[in-house]
Structure formats: C-alpha cells, structure tokens
A and B are shown apart, each in its own frame.
Chain A
C-alpha cells in the first residue's frame, strides 16, 4: 500500500496514470451525463405542483452534491500535502479548487433561477443558501491565497490550512435545512427511509449525480496533468514527451 502511495508522488508516473484513466473515463462521463440530462429533461413527467420548472433539479442537485464532495477532495489533498510534503498533493488541491468553485456557482445560479418561480424570490439569506455562498468564497479564497504568495511552498501550506479550516462548513451546509428553520426544503433523497421523490424522477437524478462525479474526476485529472507539465517543463521526461509527439 505504501509503495502505491509513494508512487503517487512521482510526476511522470502520475501524469501517465492520469492520462490512461482519462482515456476511458471521459467518454463514460460524457455518455452518462448526456443520457442523464436528456432523460431528466425530456423523458420524465412534470411535477404535480411545480410543473416543468422542477427539471432544474437534474443540474442543481448534482452540482451541489459534487461541490460539497469536491471540497473534501481539496481538503484531504491539503492534509496529505501538509503531512507528507508531497508536491503532487498540492497539485491535486489546487486542481480541485476552480472545479469546485464552478460547481458551487452553478448550484447557486440554478437555485436562484428555480427560486424565482417557486418561492417568489431570487435570493434569501437562508442558512442553506448563505452557507453555500461561504463555500464559494472558500474555494475562491484558496485560489486567491495561492496566487498571493511568491514562495509557492508557503502558498500551498497556507491554502491547505484554509482548506482544512473550511471543512467545518460542509456538514453545516448539509444539515442546515434540518438544524434551522429555512426556506430551502430538506433533502428529497434519503439515505435512510424512503425518498420523497418519485422513482421515475429519482433514477435520472441518480444517474446525473454519478455522471457529475465522473466529470469532476475527469476535469480534476486533466487540470492536474496540465499543472504537472507546467511545473516539470524543464525536466528530461517532459522534454522527451514533447519531442516524441
């Protein structure tokens, strides 16, 4: 197990393995996402109260779920970077931040578009929505903090600490609708007990969630490959790679 872990720290090995994972994972992600979105948007029944506007769920919920999970990816990579001083963990942490920020922004934007016809307002300072906005600022904060330092080793350390402190926000976002009175409804997909969304609407939603996870992984790996090449551009293996192709 430790040999595998230490291999992860080798840039050429990680660059190669990320490339071969991407080669088959990206087509799967694109196909799964297309099927999920077309199924959800065109082949499900409208909701009994919201009509067609509920269909934004097929983008909103997957984006939100993966935005939260992506934060853990960033924070765990940050912890590995602090403990083992592994440069590849810094790269994973910094590759996750813009993807997570984009997903959080999509979640806030689609929520706002849905909120206007459903609730009657674009925005409300509700616990769920406000904590999601804080998540966006945490992602942007990690990105900005990294750029603020000239010494990139110190920058990565500061980013990792910020990412770790921010993990407290994730359970707050998740449980906000249960802990406080909020306008946002509680989760429809339940891990225990019966989900309060009809199975005909649930299956395409689950497919969309899985494909957002796959897409997140693909974009994360692609971002990491770019950053590895950028950092290692002066080394022999990158020169050979560029010379070959």
Chain B
C-alpha cells in the first residue's frame, strides 16, 4: 500500500477508535440514566429516590393482583426474584398485563415503599410461539415432562 494511503488508513482507524472510546466513556458515566427503570432490588436498597417520578420494572408476582370492586384501582407486586415492590395504579392496564409477565410502571415512590403509578406498560418478552405450542409446553410442564 502507498505510504500516503497507509497514513490515511491510520487516521481513519484512529477516528473510529477515539470516537468509540469517547462515547463509550460518556455512556459508562451516564449508565444509571440510560436504564429505563429501577429493578425492585435497587428500590429495596434505597437507591431509587422518593417522591420524584421514577420507573420500576419487574415481573408481576403470581396471585398478587387485587382489583378494586368500585374503582379502576389495581394493586400488584413486582419482583426481580431478589426483592419485591408493591404498586398501586388507577387506570386501564395494557392488554398484555398479566401475572407472571413483565411490566414497567412509572410513578412516585411513597415513604411506605409503595409506588403510586400513573402509567403501567407491559414489557413483552422475546418468546414467540403459536398458541398450540404454548399449550403443549404448558401441558408437558404440568405433567412433569421436560421438553
């Protein structure tokens, strides 16, 4: 390769390298803010601020959803299998909200550790399958057969 071109190749490589390092360091410094939500374990450890708008995400605990008979209020618990956070929400939940599925709730954390949510989003997971396959998986799981 011609020496001038070789020199330009080094310039190109250093542009890519230095911009990657610079943006990498910036992303590393901002890593707490890039996370969309706090997991329950961080809330339990007191890392989430009280009375400021935050998001908490996790799995809805099976059997924890309690709906009010007179209002749209719903109480449920989310978990990351290390800690739990109780969430109160008044409004219409997304169609894919269900026990055992992921959610991201935004709201303010009270002093009692309960999140007063003003928005609840369903967090869909990466599993895609036809209903028959889901049914078969469920049946084999209850029958104690490992697929």
Query: A55 CB to closest chain B CB, in angstroms?
Result: 10
B144 within 8 A of A: no
A227 touches B (CB below 8 Å) = no
Distance from B13 Cβ to chain A, minimum over Cβ atoms (Å): 9
Distance A126 CA – B15 CA, assembled complex (angstroms): 28
- Residues of B within 8 Å of A197, CB to CB, are 126-129
The stretch from B3-11, B46-54, B70-78 touching chain A is B3-11
Q: Given that A83-B12, A161-B15, A181-B37 are contacting pairs, would A119 and B122 also be in contact in the complex, using a CB cutoff of 8 Å?
A: yes
> Is B129 within 8 A of A201, CB to CB?
yes
Is B107's beta carbon under 8 Å from chain A?
no
Name the residue on A nearest B92 (C-beta).
A120
Q: Are A181 and B36 in contact (CB under 8 A)?
A: yes
**Contacting residues of chain B (18-39) with chain A, CB-CB under 8 angstroms:** 19-20, 23-24, 27, 31, 34-39
Q: Return the chain B residue nearest A79 by Cβ.
A: B12
Instruction: Judge if B69 is at the interface, Cβ distance under 8 Å.
Output: no
User: What sequence of 0s and 1s flags, for each residue 121-145 of chain A, a beta carbon within 8 Å of any chain B beta carbon?
Assistant: 1001111000000000000000000
Q: Is the CB–CB distance between A198 and B129 below 8 Å?
A: yes
A196 contacts the other chain (CB 8 A): yes
Q: In this assembly, does B130 line the interface, its C-beta being within 8 Å of a C-beta of chain A? A: yes
In angstroms, how far is the closest chain A Cβ from the Cβ of B29?
Answer: 14
User: CA separation between A54 and B131, bound complex, in Å?
Assistant: 13
Instruction: Say what secondary structure dominates the interface of chain A.
Output: loop
A85–chain B nearest beta-carbon distance, Å? 8
Q: Is B45 among interface residues, defined by CB-CB distance under 8 A?
A: no
Q: Cβ of B12: which chain A residues have Cβ within 8 Å of it? A: 79, 82-83, 164
Docked-complex contact B124 and A119, CB < 8 angstroms: yes
Task: Find the B residue at minimum CB distance from A84.
Answer: B5
The answer to whether B34 and A127 touch across the interface, beta carbons within 8 angstroms, is: yes
A212 to B: closest C-beta gap in Å: 19
Q: Is A167 an interface residue (CB 8 A)?
A: yes
Interface size on A, residues (CB 8 A): 43
Q: Is the CB of B15 within 8 A of A188?
A: no
* B129 and A168 within 8 A (CB): no
With beta carbons under 8 angstroms apart, the residue of A46, A84, A164 that contacts B130 is A46
Please tell me if B112 contacts chain A, counting CB pairs below 8 Å: no
Is B124's CB under 8 angstroms from A48's CB?
no
The residue on A at minimum CB distance from B138 is A48
B128 touches A198 (CB 8 A): yes
Given A117-B95, A118-B96, are A181 and B57 neighbors across the interface (CB < 8 Å)? yes
List residues of A (38-80) whose CB comes within 8 Å of B's CBs.
44-50, 54, 57, 79
Knowing that A49-B96, A127-B36 are A-B contacts, what are 15 other residue pairs whose CB atoms are under 8 Å apart, sorted by A's residue number? A45-B132, A48-B133, A48-B134, A50-B124, A79-B12, A117-B94, A120-B94, A126-B36, A127-B34, A168-B23, A172-B23, A181-B35, A181-B37, A185-B124, A201-B128
Residue numbers of B with Cβ under 8 A of A are 5, 8-9, 11-12, 15-16, 19-20, 23-24, 27, 31, 34-39, 57, 93-96, 104, 119-135
Closest 4 CB pairs between A and B?
Answer: A45-B130, A120-B94, A48-B134, A198-B129
